[in-house]
């Protein structure tokens, strides 16, 4: 079977959805984490996340198979398999742009920037730090625990990984490939988070032209600083604009009502199908516009004829960050290392496909566990940290007041 056969992706999605459905039945704790269908404000987006994160896994699985066969790391020749990676990431950026710009438009000057900063910090790092530790331990294990770098260089590599860059660790070549280099997207997310308050002062609560100019300079400076090691690509950042456009779109009652109609669902699916079949790359004008049309309709609440509504799909959406972040390492262990131990040739179709199926199932199980026991506690720790900071701030304000009264 050719690695371009779309049935491979379809089978993998069916395995993932079936695994999620079984987990929801077997583990009551998982079921309790899901809101009733349609209860969430953006339930359709929650469902979309599940498809996207798993799509990136399928994309990297096909790249791995091609690498095993040819020794070359490159995009799949199939547009669909190429876009399952790039197109999914572009849509993830749109989700980020939409959710946070929508919140800004809703809250205006009342937006809680401290809560925003704390929530982002405790969203990204609780899962990323253990993964980073696993990568470093794996590298030293593969090198028989031999230190090949100076302590200073190793500290520098550690700091770079903490900022989502992926330099080779301890001279292990292409260290980032242990996790399929997935953290490159987090650099773009971080840039968006850091630039958001400045962008808000330019476009939402603008006071003066001087403020606008200073904020634009600040955004450009951030663009250079965040992209210090690997420059941020402007056409990648453009995908956030699709999400921002959706935040304005849903504020027009007539457009919102039209977007929920079956005709809009057909248009959305057609736009996505064209983007994923006619183009091999996502971050160009035409595919980005097509995906923006698709996303605007989904953000308006269209469930695409129920495809975004099932509980299993929404659970895949809940665990999407774990799925995205961990899939590269799961793939590396099961498809590249395990066959070496068992003396199997993963280049063979009859070996690769069962391993791929096993990966699809295990990834959903592992991601569910890391969501429940790492991600969710991390988010809760962020809320407690925010509460503690606010209580401290209130306490500090009361102290000067009491001192003034005593005088």
Q: Residue 230 falls within a domain, yes or no? A: yes
The residue count of the chain comes to 407
Phi, psi angles (nearest 5°) of residue 38: 85, -5
Alpha carbon distances (Å) from 317 to 92, 153, 240 = 11, 38, 19
The per-residue pLDDT for 40 is: 57
The per-residue pLDDT for 241 is: 96
In angstroms and rounded to an integer, the radius of gyration of the C-alpha atoms of the chain is 23
What is the pLDDT confidence band of residue 398, given thresholds at 50, 70 and 90?
low
Query: CB of 311 within 8 A of CB of 327?
Result: no
The per-residue pLDDT for 306 is: 94
Is residue 228 over pLDDT 90? no
Q: Residue 99 falls within a domain, yes or no? A: yes
The per-residue pLDDT for 92 is: 98
Instruction: State the alpha helices, DSSP H only, in 71-150.
Output: 79-107, 113-142
Query: CB of 49 within 8 A of CB of 316?
Result: yes
Please provide the DSSP assignment of 319-386 as one string.
THHHHHHHHHHHHIIIIIIHHHHHT--TTSHHHHHHHHHHHHHHHHHHHHHHIIIIIHHHHHHHHHHH
Q: Residue 187 falls within a domain, yes or no? A: yes
Mean pLDDT score, 55-83: 94
Q: Residue 36 falls within a domain, yes or no? A: yes
- Express each pLDDT in 4-39 by its tens digit: 889 999 999 999 999 999 999 999 888 888 766 555
The per-residue pLDDT for 406 is: 57
- Token pair of 207, please? 């006071």
Mean pLDDT score, 218-225: 93
How far is Cα of residue 140 from the mean position of the Cα atoms in its chain? Answer: 28
Q: Residue 194 falls within a domain, yes or no? A: yes
The per-residue pLDDT for 206 is: 79
Share of the chain above pLDDT 90, in %: 85
Number of structural domains found in the chain:
1
* 29: CB partners within 8 A, 6+ apart: 372
Instruction: Report the alpha-carbon distance of residue 369 to residue 374 in Å, rounded.
Output: 8
- Token pair of 276, please? 């994923």
The per-residue pLDDT for 28 is: 87
Please provide the DSSP assignment of 149-216 as one string.
S-HHHHHHHHHHHHTT--PPSTT-TTGGGGGTTTTHHHHHHHHHHHHHHHHHHHHTS---HHHHHHHH
- 3-state SS, residue 143: coil
The per-residue pLDDT for 393 is: 77
Q: Residue 405 falls within a domain, yes or no? A: no
The per-residue pLDDT for 11 is: 97
- 3-state SS, residue 40: coil
Is residue 372 over pLDDT 90? yes
The per-residue pLDDT for 3 is: 76
Structural domain that includes position 275: 6-400
- Express each pLDDT in 190-203 by its tens digit: 999 999 999 999 99
* Mean pLDDT of the residues in the chain: 93
What is the pLDDT confidence band of residue 370, given thresholds at 50, 70 and 90?
very high
Alpha carbon distances (Å) from 203 to 102, 211, 221, 237, 274 = 13, 11, 18, 17, 32
Mean pLDDT score, 235-263: 96
Residue with tokens 């593969």: 142
Is residue 399 over pLDDT 70? no
Q: Residue 294 falls within a domain, yes or no? A: yes
* 356: CB partners within 8 A, 6+ apart: 8, 12, 61, 65, 335
- Express each pLDDT in 114-167 by its tens digit: 999 999 999 999 999 999 999 999 999 999 999 999 999 999 999 999 999 999
195-212 burial, b at 16+ Cβ within 10 Å, e below that, comes to: bbebbbbbeeeeeeeeee
The per-residue pLDDT for 35 is: 64
Q: Residue 1 falls within a domain, yes or no? A: no
């Amino acid at each position: 079977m050719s690695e371009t056969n779309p049935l491979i992706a379809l089978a993998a999605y069916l395995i993932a959805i079936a695994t999620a459905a079984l987990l929801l039945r077997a583990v009551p704790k998982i079921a309790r984490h899901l809101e009733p269908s349609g209860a969430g404000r953006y339930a359709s987006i929650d469902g979309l996340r599940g498809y996207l994160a798993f799509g990136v896994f399928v994309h990297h699985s096909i790249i791995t198979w091609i690498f095993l066969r040819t020794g070359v790391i490159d995009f799949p020749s199939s547009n669909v398999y190429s876009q399952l990676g790039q197109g999914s990431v572009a849509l993830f950026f749109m989700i980020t742009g939409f959710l946070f710009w929508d919140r800004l438009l809703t809250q205006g000057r009342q937006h809680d920037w401290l809560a925003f900063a704390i929530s982002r910090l405790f969203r990204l790092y609780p899962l990323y730090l253990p993964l980073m530790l696993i990568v470093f331990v794996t590298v030293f294990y593969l090198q028989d625990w031999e230190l090949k770098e100076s302590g200073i260089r190793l500290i520098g590599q550690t700091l770079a990984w903490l900022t989502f860059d992926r330099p080779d660790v301890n001279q292990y070549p292409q260290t980032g490939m242990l996790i399929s280099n997935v953290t490159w997207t987090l650099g773009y997310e971080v840039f968006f988070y850091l630039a958001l308050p400045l962008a808000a002062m330019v476009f939402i609560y603008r006071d003066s032209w001087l403020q606008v100019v200073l904020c634009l300079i600040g955004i450009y400076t951030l663009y250079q600083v965040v992209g210090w090691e690997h420059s941020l690509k402007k056409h990648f950042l453009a995908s956030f604009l699709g999400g921002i456009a959706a935040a304005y779109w849903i504020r027009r009652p007539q457009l919102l009502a039209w977007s929920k109609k079956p005709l809009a669902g057909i248009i959305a699916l057609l736009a996505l199908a064209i983007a994923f079949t006619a183009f091999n790359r996502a971050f160009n004008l035409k595919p980005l516009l097509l995906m923006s049309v698709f996303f605007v309709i989904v953000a308006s609440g269209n469930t695409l004829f129920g495809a975004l509504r099932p509980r299993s799909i929404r659970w895949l959406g809940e665990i999407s960050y774990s799925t995205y972040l961990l899939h590269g390492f799961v793939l590396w262990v099961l498809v590249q290392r395990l066959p070496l131990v068992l003396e199997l040739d993963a280049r063979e179709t009859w070996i690769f496909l069962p391993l791929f199926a096993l990966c699809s199932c295990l990834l959903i199980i592992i991601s569910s566990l890391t969501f429940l026991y790492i991600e969710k506690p991390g988010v809760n720790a962020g809320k407690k940290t925010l509460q503690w900071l606010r209580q401290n701030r209130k306490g500090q304000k009361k102290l000067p007041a009491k001192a003034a009264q005593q005088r």
